[in-house]
Structure 1
Amino acid sequence: MTTSIAHLGPPGTYAEQATVFYANWLVNKTGIETVLCPYPSIAQSLQAVAQEQTQLAVVPVENSIEGSVTMTMDTLWQLESLRIQLALVMPIAHTLISYATDLDGIKTVYSHPQALAQCQGWLEMFLPSVQLIPTNSTTESLQQLESNRTAAVIASSRAAQLYNLPILANGINDYPENCTRFWVVSKADADTNYYISSAGASHTSIAFSVPKNVPGALLKPLQVFAQLGINLSRIESRPTKRSLGEYLFFVDLESDVATPQMKSALADLSSYTEILKIFGAYNVLSISPL
């Protein structure tokens, strides 16, 4: 049996690094071999699972410096058929990759918007006059560097090794404790479910909209969890894209969806929400750098 896994490409992205870790973990845990399938965007990685082009996707959801990855959240809300199987937490260390001989020779810096934001302070200090150009991934522009000696890319040291490119500066992220959380996502009706331990899941992720933007509209759903002693590890709002001032709320809970408290909470929550989606119950694995 071989499992196909979608991830943001080209090879060398942090998403691919997380996927490689997960693929190794999976084969050690279950004996199941994997094949990695790079896609041009996070949304396309998730759509690949929904359209059964792949069985799984590994996508970033949250960074400790820059917060939520909105494309992941928005796409997960739009696609009805997906569920979270596992979370992976990976440390992120950015490098500046370029053929320039020194920083003074750099005129443009390319990278994913999250990576550019995570290095904003460093860039303002050492490259205050360069043009910052966002790309679909940290590795998308690496192959252009040899023909443009005034360009640089923010990516991982692993990416530099894969493409045999020179590193001009290491550890350029603004905060040393820089981590990204990824979700392993499958179709909700997938037959195989070997990602949660026999002890159950440690987290559940949901999202909901409220019927009206009135006082207490958010308070009432949150009180449901407080009264049952269920801790929220994250809450994030995103626009519904229907009308200005209307929001969806994404919530991570430190509880298994199968517990009596969570079952009771979700039953009560339906009274205060317009749309309620349960994305999945899962455990969290920490990743060591490759």
Structure 2
Amino acid sequence: MRIPGFLNRIVPGAIALLMLTYSCKDLNKGSEDISIARVNSKYLYLSDVAGIVPAGTSSADSIEISKRFIESWIKKQVFLDHAEKNLSVDLKTFDKKIEDYRNSLILFAFESEYVRTNLDTLVSEQQVQAYYEKNQGDFRLKDNIVKVSYVKVVPDAPQQEIIRKLIKSTEAADVQALEEYGSQHAVNYFIGGEYWILFNDLLREVPIQSNNYDQFIRTTKYYEMKDENFKYFLVIHDFRTKENISPISFEKENIKSIILNQRRHEMINKLHNDLYKEAVSKGSFEIFK
């Protein structure tokens, strides 16, 4: 549907003149708003259009933007009017759903802001430890995890014998030397004896060739392989297989999130109860019998 012919004639003169005559500032000061379009009983006002044109826009572009906005508004109102007249759902029920949805949005926005400004987001190591010890059964691994170090290089990378020596060592000087080698010569590397990672994430970097990954993890300390493009050096420092209890260091951030969610829930419940008690004490409501 194109904008009606009469609007093509009116918009360039009327809207442009009105937008020059009545600025947004004027309207905000309480100037009488001016209707510029109508669909049955619904009106579009100048204040609805005044803010859509960016500052510095030419007169011709301003008129075109205004025309497109008005056309879009008319299409939407015509469609809404048609939908309301032909909607099979009971409008009273529909209105209630809209009101319920609006109330839900208001409550969600208020609760989110209240939590943002009032929630204590500091979770101590002691709190994490206490929660973990109390709920260990909830932290069973769904996947294998490992602590590893690996170096990925091109096949002709220099001093590969150095990698074999350093990657097996836990001495601080050797770890530092391996870091330096990796930064200079490796395509990718990870020196992570302190960090748990998912074994599946490791496979994306090191294409381990095995028919039984569980057995591989349990029996392999050092692994070296080569494919068409790269050579890989891997040491498995530690492992946990799925279905076993997950280590606390792997679950720390998850536990912090759980504790914070519990605090949010308790805070909102307390707020609701406090407001209810306040309403009772003030006699703000009554139940008719």
Give the helix-richer structure, 1 or 2: 2
Give the TM-score band, short-chain normalised. under 0.3
TM-score by length of structure 1 reads 0.21
TM-score by length of structure 2 reads 0.21
Higher relative contact order (CA 8 A, sep 6+): 1
Give the strand-richer structure, 1 or 2: 1
Larger radius of gyration: 2
